[in-house]
Structure 1
Amino acid sequence: MNTLGSRIAHYRKVKGLSQQALANECGWESQSRIGNYERDTREPSFDDLRRIAKALRVTLNDLLNPAMLIAESEEGRYEPEEKLSLRSRQVLDRLMQAASQGRLVEQDLLLLELIAQRLERPED
């Protein structure tokens, strides 16, 4: 579950919703928007992310945590790895707090996504 789209799809399936049902919960007529997000062919706006998180009854952090090392639990939630350094834990805690309070703006998300992509590349 490395991409935002795969996390949206995961939570949607955990909730037992079709793409159309999730689109309806978000106030959209067509499921194509959800399909595009899940295939990562379109980036959701921050407002769309909020709608999706609310409809799925998850936090924005649940959808936006690609920079974290995560392990899936039986409930479909994610727990930070215990092997994080104190400094890493502090940074992630501040990011999680900002995300849960809706204080991350689009530019923040773009920067975090770039960092996550860099970390996903094998070491040169």
Structure 2
Amino acid sequence: MDSIGRKIRELRKIRNLTQEQLAERCGVSLSCISRWENDVLHPTAKNIESLSKALSANITELFPSYAVQPSESLIVREIVSIVERMTEPEQKFVLETLIHYQEVRNSLTKDSIT
């Protein structure tokens, strides 16, 4: 499995960017890019967002092992298909709604047990 550092280096080279150029696009130092590429340091969530934009890559290109595996369930596949076509704010709303639903459901389950 590729490390995040190797993936960053690979995508940077494919995009014909120097470490300096990538550092400038991400708003970090050259040494930071070097440490990321050598797996000495891992990017924060904010840095991953910057990297994604700077490299014109989606998150699954940076972290292929975290890509969503196809589900056997037709319902889940349809939900994923719909969500993939939404804007990021819409996706965040759906996620927040699902989290809230899960919290309420868990709360109701706990209340019925006690």
Report the TM-score range of the alignment, normalised by the length of the smaller protein. Answer: 0.5 to 0.7
Q: Which stretches of structure 1, 4 residues or more, deviate above 2 A after TM superposition?
A: 84-87, 100-103
Compared with structure 1, are the counterparts of its residues 60 and 67 closer, same or farther at alpha carbon in structure 2 (3 Å cutoff)?
A: closer
Partner of 1:86: 72
What fraction of aligned residue pairs are identical, expressed as a percent? 28
Compared with structure 1, are the counterparts of its residues 47 and 85 closer, same or farther at alpha carbon in structure 2 (3 Å cutoff)?
A: closer
Contiguous gaps of at least 5 residues in structure 2: 93-114
* CA RMSD after TM alignment: 3.2
Q: Which has the larger radius of gyration?
A: 2
- Which stretch of the first structure deviates more once superposed, 12-21 or 58-67? 58-67
Deviations 1:39-85 (A, max 9, x none): 111011000000011001111121122245xxxxxxxxxxx8xxx77
Q: Give the TM-score of the pair, scaled to structure 2.
A: 0.58
The answer to which structure has the higher strand fraction is: 1
Number of residue pairs the alignment of both structures matches: 84
Q: What SS does the corresponding residue of 2:64 show, helix, strand or coil?
A: coil
Contiguous gaps of at least 5 residues in structure 1: 69-79, 104-124
CA distance in 2, matches of 1:54, 1:20: 16
Q: Give the TM-score of the pair, scaled to structure 1.
A: 0.54
